[in-house]
A and B are shown apart, each in its own frame.
Chain A
Amino acid sequence: MPWDAWALTTLKSPVNERFAVMLKPNKTILGACALLGLTLLGLGAMGPWQDLNNEPLPEQPSVALGVQGLLFARPFVLEKSYRHNWRLERPQVKSGLLLVLEVDEVFSVPRNTLESVLYIGDEVAERLNWGTGSGRVVAICPAALGADGLPALDLLSALMWYGSPELPERVDAARVQSELAAASAAGLVPLASEQIQIAREAGGALLQLADRTALEREAARLVLRFASPERDLAEGFLTPLVR
């Protein structure tokens, strides 16, 4: 039975038939549903079933999978440090890179069970968003300042990949190293230097900010720019500050 017909039928089904049909929607059906919903909306006949939007959770890969591209890379430095909550050691961070990555859509669906962890080089990157609807993830990658006064993260040599599912706050240095070894063994390689160069040019010069709050707001603006379907999340970081 088509999904929309099922939905309409459900409203009239007797109790003993409520498990008679199993729902397995796909995008085509959902599109048809949306069309039907809009049609009924136009007629002023909104049914409670109209938001039956349901996508099954995609299965996460069991092996390391590299990011697909880098669109933006900007170094930052803060006047006041913060704790990096995305690894067990909780190191203090005063500098790093703001990045915009292109990722496989399998990682774009948030879940509350374990998610694949994003690694850059030998660090766990902080994802600000998931890339839902855009495939673009804004990430903050901590990196200490080098001798040149810039964050010492060499994007030309660093692997960028999603490792095995885990809670990032439980990932320690040893786990990072084992994930890095697995990624290398899987044949992952750094992104092309041309792509790195374009991303650096898109990012621009060193960003000097006061603190973590300012960094979050900068990252949120990147979400608005590169991953607009996650506008709610970005705007959540950009609400007016209480004075």
Chain B
Amino acid sequence: MLLAGSVAGAPPVLAQVGGAFCFGLGCPCGNDDPNAGCGNKGVDFSFSTGAELVHSGGVPSALQDSFEFTVRGMSGNQLGLVYMGAGSSNFVFGDGLRCVVSAGLGIRRFPVQQADFVGEFIQPGIVGLSQGFPPTGQIQPGETWYFQGWYRDPGGPCGSSFNLTNAVPVSFYPGGGGGNHSHLAGQPLAEYPWFDYCVSINQGQALHMAVDPLLQPGLVGLSADVYIVRAKDSAGWSADPTLTDARGAPSSILFSGADVQGNTFQLDAGLLSGTSGSDLGQGYDVVIDVDGDGLWDAGEPIDGLSTEAGFYVVRDVAAAGPYTVTEVAYSGGSWLGQNLFYPASIASLGALPLVVVSHGNGHNYTWYDHIGTHLASYGFVVMSHQNETAPGIETASTTTLTNTDYFLGNLASIAAGALAGHIDSSRIAWIGHSRGGEGVVRAYTRLATGHFVPANYTQADIQLVSSIAPVTFLASTAADPGSVNYHLWVGSADDDVNGLLPQTHQYAILERAQGARSSITIQGAGHGAFHNGGGSLVAAGPCLLTRVETHQIMRGQLLPLVKHYLEGDIPARDFLWRQWEGFKPIGAPPLSNPCAVVTFDYRPGPAGISIVLDDFNSNAAKNVSSSGTAVSFTVDNLFEDNKRDTDGSFTWTGSQPMNGMTRTKGSEEHPGLVFDWNEPSYWEVQLPLVNTDVTGDTYLSFRACQGTRHPNTTAALGDLTFFVTLRDANGVSSSISCGLHGGGIEEPYQRPASNPTPGWANEMETVRIRLSDFLANGSGINLTILDSVRLDFGGPGGDAVGRLGFDDFEITRE
């Protein structure tokens, strides 16, 4: 059907790079290549592989000139060019297929380029160069253009001496400023920006979509069918654009609202399934079928046109998975006792990742069934081993190393050979508890430094190291996670590894980690709550969590952790950083349980960090950031210092600004920022001049904690909120509360101070706000010329007084 207000052939656009299309199928002389353009001579002299056109940089903003393409797969040193047109087609042309046509606006050719010796050239300046074309060819906001590469190919398969790549549609930002607007699905928020374009939602939770009419004016007044479709990547969409709604039928929606709130619609009441094999979730794409033809057409809004789905419905990750689990206990000799968990059907499951568990002192390797059974039910092999912790950390690390090596070297004998050929030894996670928690880091360091050389695996095979309530006896160089993915579990009620002494500064290892890092802090959890061996919880403090509750949390968080780092699972990532109040495992203790309070600290690996605004590691002056930019503030008692409590009292005396920080030890330097306020005030950092365009980035990220026992903290116990403001070079600003996803900066766990327990400690958590959220409802801010990030305290909607610690103000991308 033709939809009211729509114009056939001219769909409204969201800014996005569309899925590549017009691959080499039906080529002129049988030189098909389904993954690129038609087969050519190329550098590989194979007529079954062609050249491809890929988006290789920049964002589709018509207001800047960052967008670029790369053509690759040509013959070396040959000439080629990128051209564009307003229409798409598919007919034989030369040795290839012509995919782009004029559609009345002309064919526009970018400059001729010469490929390098590997047959590749880059075409930058797409938008800028287009401004030199005749007016109908100048790229404007809101337009969709189709691009293809043409190139010479002497000696090619069909004798025409030229060939073409696949094609790519690009829709340029319809509004001013730019930003990533390809998201549609998510859930509404009770305050600005009014909608959370999240990646994962829990099964049973209602799904919504939102369209910002000021950023997507092409949709205003239109009525269209909105489909939820099982996720496909761009190639899948090109191959099959048919829209088949997972709910049975699409939703007919009229986009008539004047703002985000007015254009927020429920798409599903929570009936979509998130259960699919052993996956955490089921991916779906959302498509607005503007012309009502039941097909996704290039240029029609789609959320999920990549390997990442539009959204994922996630199952109860705390509940058992689909596989029946076999458990076997055996010993390979001295300190080689092992408790093994694996799917009973492993013979049909290929090669599975391995999770190794190294227990703590006074614990036992048979006390981690809650980990082994749970992960094995989702297709992991889990081996918990005897850990020689009593002599110290070096011996513990040795048993981690030797047990892993023994296991991998004896698969033919263990469990009657059931696992032989079914372990992927390149995907190993080490999880250690307490002394074992530092032991696994020490073990990784020994691999990195060559002080231990296993026979059956290497350092590169260790993909994740996770420490549960680790001690920190060793020097930083001796227990260094380096660039491995590192994760930390902390129980705020821990009465053993309690932060009192430097050897118990449990966050110190996290601070050292240079790769992706994350931590979970569980208030009310004691040291013994993390195993299931019974006995004392080894806890001090109010509102203690039971083992049952702690393990519900562990199961629900551990599974996404290993899924993400060992399998690259996308929806799992949300469990590592989103506010517990807004998103948590279904089977974890409910929010109505006042004792189950959980916070996360998360930082992606270096590749995910675009701009470090201020990590306080250099430029100690209060008015200069570590990136060298200006800092200004009106908050009180501002200090930059090492994040270490030096007297262990955790009591506010006024003389120790970093009171309650347990994030460094010895001579380690991991500085941070602290300050307080009693009246409306701010702290602001400018962006580096060379890095003001954040349209290709995803989040503003920082981490923060309340200052334990500071008078401003005790004056208003509770989660603490303030506003985060972005301001562009034109002076336009946009503000969002740090508590928009529920809670705020968490109220500290109020552990009583009694010898030897030191009382409260500071618990840092990460706040990430999607950059494009600041554009909502026509804020007018221009993210291509972002000038500064400001934190506003004490104003309307924020807490009147407070004391906070901060670190790692960053712009990140995913």
Contact = CB atoms under 8 A, between A and B. Distances in A.
Interface in B364-383: 364-367
A53 B548 CA distance: 12
Nearest to A20: B542
A235 B337 CA distance: 10
B544 A110 contact: no
B548 A10 contact: no
A213 B333 contact: yes
Q: Which DSSP category, helix, strand, loop or mixed, fits chain B's interface?
A: loop
Interface in B679-713: none
A79 interface: no
B495 A56 contact: yes
A54 B537 contact: yes
Contact of A112 (B395, B497, B541): B497
A52 B755 contact: no
A21 B524 CA distance: 13
Interface string A215-243: 01000000000000000110111011111
A169 B392 contact: yes
B496 A53 contact: no
B385 to A, nearest CB: 10
B546 A49 contact: yes
Interface stretch (B47-55, B526-534, B788-796): B526-534
A163 B392 CA distance: 16
B331 A50 contact: no
Given A50-B546, A112-B497, A242 B410 contact: yes
Nearest to B718: A16
A236 B546 contact: no
Interface string B406-427: 0000100110000000000000
Contacts of A21: 542
Contacts of A82: 334
A112 B473 CA distance: 10
Nearest to B364: A232
B331 to A, nearest CB: 5
A14 B533 CA distance: 31
Sorting the interface of chain B by its residue count into under 10, 10 to 19, 20 to 34 or 35 or more gives 35 or more
Most chain A CB within a 10 A radius of its CB, from B504, B546, B547: B546
B610 interface: no
B594 A113 contact: no
Nearest to A217: B331
B540 interface: yes
A168 B390 contact: yes
Contact of B543 (A10, A115, A235, A236): A10
A208 to B, nearest CB: 17
A109 B527 CA distance: 13
Nearest to B399: A85
A238 to B, nearest CB: 8
Given A10-B595, A236-B337, A167 B534 contact: no
A49 B596 CA distance: 12
B503 A170 contact: no
A45 interface: no
B20 interface: no
A161 interface: no
Give the 7 A-B residue pairs with the shortest CB-CB distance, closest first: A110-B362, A167-B392, A169-B392, A112-B434, A169-B391, A55-B536, A18-B594
Given A48-B548, A85-B388, A212-B334, 14 more contacts: A15-B594, A51-B534, A54-B526, A56-B495, A57-B496, A109-B362, A111-B361, A111-B496, A112-B469, A113-B471, A126-B391, A232-B364, A237-B337, A241-B330
21 contacts: A17-B594, A18-B543, A19-B543, A19-B717, A21-B542, A52-B546, A55-B538, A57-B496, A57-B756, A59-B756, A86-B390, A110-B362, A111-B361, A112-B360, A112-B435, A112-B496, A114-B503, A167-B391, A167-B392, A232-B366, A239-B330
